[in-house]
Chains A and B, each alone.
Chain A
Amino acid sequence: MKPDRLTPMERFAAYHRGKPLDRLPCVPIVGNTAARVLGVKVSDFRGNGRLIANAQIAAYRRFGYDVIRIFTDLYTQAEAMGAKVHYPEDETAYLAEPAITSTDGIASLQLADPYKDGNLPHHLEAMERTFQAVGKEVPVTGALTGPFTTASFLIGTDNLVRLTLRNPAAVHQLCDLACQGALIYAGAILDTGCAPSLTDAMCSTTVISPRQFKEFGQPYLKRLVDFIHGRGRAVTLHICGKTAPIWEAMADTGADCLSIDNAADLEAAKAKVGHRVRLMGNVPPSEIMLQGTTAQVREAVRACVRKAHNNPKGLIVASGCSLPVETPFANIDAMLDAVREIGWPVDVDELETELAA
């Protein structure tokens, strides 16, 4: 196995131009696991942009992956608009209560000021510090939650999904508001030097139908993608769970890269949208990265590469979703090492032979 020869920036630049590489880009999506690298508690990240930055930089240096994503949880924008978030001492935060409980409350919702409200200023600080420190050698992105998902945290998921059928106008009102907030926050993220990285978890067809995604998800995502493109940056869109029926609609948002959950198949995604978008995925975060052995991690990486190394718009080997906090470092190392072992150019015969053996 050869050590890395290129920085992530150099690797992506070469990959874009079809030049020789040392290995495929690889992104174990490290969020709160970064706390473990510094030996701090997850709740220490709350309100502490400097610590988030230090942890993310340390994690990047420890593992040598190809994108840093400043992320702690999906609730930051909703929290800044009034949703209540619970912060366990040493685990990922979760939604305690939505901001409002019925459509009557919509009028009372207000856009957040990203420099003032909730944890947004601290996340922006983390993005700025990280970008200043390592932004020249590795892409640094800032997590941006999609409007439909933020809307679900504002009024509650049960409420929102019922409203998609009972009161579509109210859903649009909420998504529009969440989208305006996301546009403001995206602008602030871009001002730090980072590119926003979009996640719209609730848009999964595990939750809503493809028709509903086209009505309530896609148009707002497109507004965000257009805005980010307008500022000259590329954008990745991640949707959790099942997504096969909406891959084309996801690509229609204009996103440059689709990050696919392990509930979906990379090979099928390649066939459907691989000529339009780069694909990122999809080693199972829980079953393999958290609970699996290093040998299972290696096999899962090789399966991803076998399926999508020849994706016309390229492949980033990644976890299917953000890694669980307690993911063993050995498994993150094993993920990178498996990609290093495969190297470049990808020897398909070798991958296939081992599979047959």
Chain B
Amino acid sequence: MPNQAESLFHALSDAVVGMDEERTRQLSIQAVDQGIDALSAIEHGLVEGMNRAGKLFETEEYFIPELLLCSDAMYAGLDILRPHLKHEENQIRHKIVIGVVEGDTHDIGKNLVKIMLEASGFDIVDLGRDIPPQRFVDEAIQSQASVIALSTLMTTTMDGMAEVIQLLHKAKVRERFKVIVGGGPISQAFANRIGADGYAAGAPAAVKLVKQLIGEAA
């Protein structure tokens, strides 16, 4: 029954925006029990809710704590719904390797970008923080990623971003990946200077940038 599904999607979306992890979990189980399409429940429920949260973040009604709790709810739902995705639905997504450059352990910004990209349907390989440049290259090649996303809050680690790009050139794989950079001390001018493909000032902007770079409609 489409109406039943519709109202469940709304409820899922509301539970995510409302930071209600337990309710999101229950509603996800309910979706599975009722045989509702898992992909639709993710897209029209969980992701829709996370996108609403992202908008509230952009308009400064939500801040990092709210966004993190929304993402906790989203992930709780994803854990339940993902195993019910059809096989091919799991294969079509672009991969993004993301991490905080070596010399820095500030990772809240990186985590927000990861959450919003994940909510937008990208497959994320999160390397974590304090990551040596070579590892970004190795992991990107190995996982056949489309995008490498580099984050830092410290000016001392900005050179590490340039090094990742140099290493990609050296390995003759630069054209295989789009490289995006972000974080407190980073600017568009810096991104241009080191030859990155793009810079985003925040998590929602990073999603738009990635979609633009890999040619999907934003």
Chain A residues with CB under 8 Å of chain B are 86, 88, 91-92, 94-96, 157-158, 161-162, 164-166, 205-209, 212, 240-241, 245, 285-287, 290-291, 324-326
Contact = CB atoms under 8 A, between A and B. Distances in A.
Nearest to A287: B187
Nearest to B183: A286
Contact of A94 (B69, B104, B185, B190): B104
A207 B108 contact: yes
B210 to A, nearest CB: 22
Interface in B16-75: 19, 60, 62-66, 68-69, 72
Given A88-B156, A94-B106, 18 more contacts: A91-B103, A157-B106, A161-B68, A165-B65, A165-B69, A166-B69, A205-B63, A207-B108, A212-B65, A285-B155, A286-B158, A286-B185, A287-B185, A287-B190, A291-B189, A325-B156, A326-B155, A326-B156
Contacts of B120: none
A285 B62 CA distance: 28
Contacts, number: 76
Contact of A157 (B19, B60, B108, B155): B108
A92 B156 contact: yes
A207 B64 contact: yes
A104 B186 CA distance: 37
21 contacts: A91-B156, A94-B106, A162-B65, A162-B68, A164-B65, A205-B63, A206-B64, A208-B64, A209-B62, A209-B66, A212-B63, A240-B184, A245-B60, A286-B158, A286-B186, A287-B185, A287-B187, A287-B189, A291-B189, A291-B190, A325-B156
Interface in B184-206: 184-187, 189-190
Interface residues on chain B, size class = 20 to 34
Nearest to A213: B63
Interface of B: 19, 60, 62-66, 68-69, 72, 103-108, 111, 130, 154-156, 158, 184-187, 189-190
A283 to B, nearest CB: 13
B201 to A, nearest CB: 10
A210 B86 CA distance: 44
Contact of A88 (B63, B103, B106, B190): B103
A94 B60 contact: no
A10 to B, nearest CB: 34
Contacts of A95: 105
Nearest to B61: A209
Contacts of B69: 162, 165-166
B202 to A, nearest CB: 9
B145 to A, nearest CB: 24
Contacts of A286: 155, 158, 184-187
- Listed residue (B65, B68, B130, B187) with the most chain A CB atoms within 10 angstroms of its CB: B65
A128 B66 CA distance: 43
A322 B62 CA distance: 28
Nearest to B193: A291
A155 to B, nearest CB: 14
Contacts of A241: 184
Contacts of B60: 205, 245
B190 A161 contact: no
Contacts of A166: 69
Nearest to B72: A162
A90 to B, nearest CB: 9
A292 to B, nearest CB: 9
Contact of A324 (B19, B65, B155, B189): B155
Contact of B63 (A96, A158, A208, A291): A208
Contacts of A94: 103-106, 130, 154
Nearest to B69: A165
Contacts of A326: 155-156
A315 to B, nearest CB: 24
Contacts of B108: 157-158, 161, 207
A161 B185 contact: no
A212 B69 CA distance: 15
A324 B156 contact: yes
Contacts of A205: 60, 63
Contact of B111 (A158, A206, A212, A240): A158
Contacts of A208: 63-65
Contacts of B63: 205, 207-209, 212
